[in-house]
Amino acid sequence: MSKLNILVVDDARFIRERVTSMVREAFPDFNVLAVENGMQARQAMQQKRYDLILCDWEMPEMSGLEVLQWTRAQDSYKATPFLMVTSRGEREYVLKAIQAGVNDYLGKPFTREQLVQKMVKALDKRQQLSPQQQARASAMLAADQQKKPAAAAPKTQAKPKGLAQLRNSQQTFRCAIKDLNLREIKVVIKNEGAFPQVLEQVVVDIEQLSGDSVARINGFVTAVQATEQKLESAYVDVRVSFMDEDPDKLSHLSKYIASVR
């Protein structure tokens, strides 16, 4: 029972590797397979039995919702725990996932603590965790909780190239866009004592100038720098490298870039 099989599905390599690492750190006796799209996920589930599926929503060719619908249509997977992992948190998306039979929903970006909590909750319901696995997970969650920083709610000023939100696993930073291209974005946030960390996974919500749509791009922080060379600098620059390879997101981003050039 301890050798559970976990399937990770995400088209962003950085996130696949990060989730795989988190799962193996928390549950070293689990077998973990990571695939990059829904078609590969289907093939993997047809070749081997998986006990828990961690699946991204927004993927090319076959979305996470379609993977979930296909999974629930298979007799051998009707009751298998399925966690949807996505940057989309709108109520309509959550409802669609619930209607399709999702077990839980994990919003990007997330911490190891949040991921492990969701996994433990899903596997405990089916009594798939041994006492040793439960004890290890509990100890890891307790350690992560002690490291958790205090949350803040900074705000920022509007800038000519538009507004955005920078979300890490703890909080949301309102920010102004200083520059961007298809590979990275540079934003400025107000200094209120809390900043994203270098190499931290984040989601950048880029608001269209018209206000009628938002591009949600997964990325990681590559630099954090004060805008002034003094301790009380009012603003901080944050540079984020994009990880998404979704053609729809890149097309959306390209149109936005063209509109502000």
pLDDT in tens, 138-154: 666 666 666 655 544 44
Express each pLDDT in 106-143 by its tens digit: 888 888 888 998 998 888 766 666 666 666 666 666 66
Helix and strand element counts for the chain (H, E)? 7, 11
Query: Which whole number is the average pLDDT over 31-56?
Result: 95
CATH superfamily of 163-260: predicted glycosyltransferase like domains (2.40.10.220)
Query: Which whole number is the average pLDDT over 12-28?
Result: 90
β-pairing verdict for 52-56 and 5-9: parallel
What is the model's pLDDT at position 157? 43
What is the model's pLDDT at position 130? 64
What is the model's pLDDT at position 87? 77
Express each pLDDT in 169-210 by its tens digit: 888 998 888 888 888 999 999 888 888 999 899 999 887 655
What is the model's pLDDT at position 98? 83
Q: For the chain, what is the mean pLDDT? A: 83
Q: Boundaries of CATH 3.40.50.2300 in the chain?
A: 5-147
Express each pLDDT in 204-239 by its tens digit: 988 765 555 567 889 999 999 998 888 888 889 999
Highest mean pLDDT among 35-49, 106-120, 162-176, 241-255: 35-49
What is the model's pLDDT at position 212? 53
What is the model's pLDDT at position 66? 94
Q: Is the pLDDT of residue 241 over 50?
A: yes
What is the model's pLDDT at position 56? 92
What pTM, to 2 d.p., does this model score? 0.64
Per-residue confidence band for 156, with pLDDT thresholds at 50, 70 and 90: very low
Sheet with 5-9, strands from edge to edge, namely: 31-35, 5-9, 52-56, 82-86, 104-107
Task: Tell me the C-alpha distance between 200 and 89, whole Å.
Answer: 20
Q: Which fold has domain 5-147?
A: Rossmann fold (3.40.50)
Q: Among candidates 105, 87, 96, 121, which has minimal Cα distance to 15?
A: 87
Three-point CA angle 29, 5, 220, nearest 5°: 85
CA distances from 25 to 11, 19, 32, 124 (A): 22, 10, 11, 18
What is the model's pLDDT at position 129? 65
Q: Boundaries of CATH 2.40.10.220 in the chain?
A: 163-260
Assess contact for 106 and 77: CB atoms under 8 A: no
Task: Tell me the C-alpha distance between 104 and 253, whole Å.
Answer: 29
